[in-house]
Amino acid sequence: MDRVFIHSLEVLCTIGVYEWEKTIKQKLVFDLELAFDNRPAASSDDIHLALDYAVLSQRVCEFANNNTFELIETMAERAAAMILTEFNVAGVELTLSKPGAVPMAANVGVKIVRGQF
């Protein structure tokens, strides 16, 4: 299966367990790998047969902005489910990072794989 990727998709959203986090916007970074058969689009050179990564990126940003979760684990799980439901992909590998969440680390996050690759 082919993979379409979107790396370093930054979103400002409300996320966090602590009360002070629920009053501010914080940066999350999405890295996505999507299982998608590119052969029909490639053979016909037809954009309508391709996975539109611009539309998918916009949808992920809207999803993160319109939903509030305490855990990045929940955000990752729900975003992956949304992608699998709304886009014609066989699988999604989603890495979600919360830079600055741990002062001693450059980055922390979760990686999940859902669907088929």
Q: Can you tell me the distance from the alpha carbon of 33 to that of 80, in angstroms, rounded to the nearest whole number?
A: 11
Closest CA to 53 of 96, 15, 8: 8
- Give the pTM: 0.94
Q: According to the model, what pLDDT value does residue 33 have? A: 98
| CATH number of the domain encompassing residue 36 | 3.30.1130.10
User: What are the respective helix, strand and coil percentages of the chain, to the nearest 5?
Assistant: 35, 30, 30
Question: Is 25 labeled as catalytic in the residue annotation?
Answer: no
What's the whole-number average pLDDT of the chain? 97
Residue 78 and residue 69 in contact, taking contact as beta carbons nearer than 8 Å: yes
Q: According to the model, what pLDDT value does residue 38 have? A: 97
Domain residues for the domain of 109 are 3-115
Q: Can you tell me the distance from the alpha carbon of 18 to that of 33, in angstroms, rounded to the nearest whole number?
A: 30
Q: For residue 78, what pLDDT band results from cuts at 50, 70 and 90?
A: very high
Q: For residue 22, what pLDDT band results from cuts at 50, 70 and 90?
A: very high
Q: Domain count for the chain, please give it.
A: 1
The mean per-residue pLDDT over the stretch 65-83 comes to 97
- Which of 22, 25, 98, 111 is flagged as catalytic? 98
Q: For residue 91, what pLDDT band results from cuts at 50, 70 and 90?
A: very high
Q: According to the model, what pLDDT value does residue 69 have? A: 97
The torsion angles phi and psi of 111, rounded to 5 degrees, stand at -130, 130
Tokens matching residue 42: 């490639």
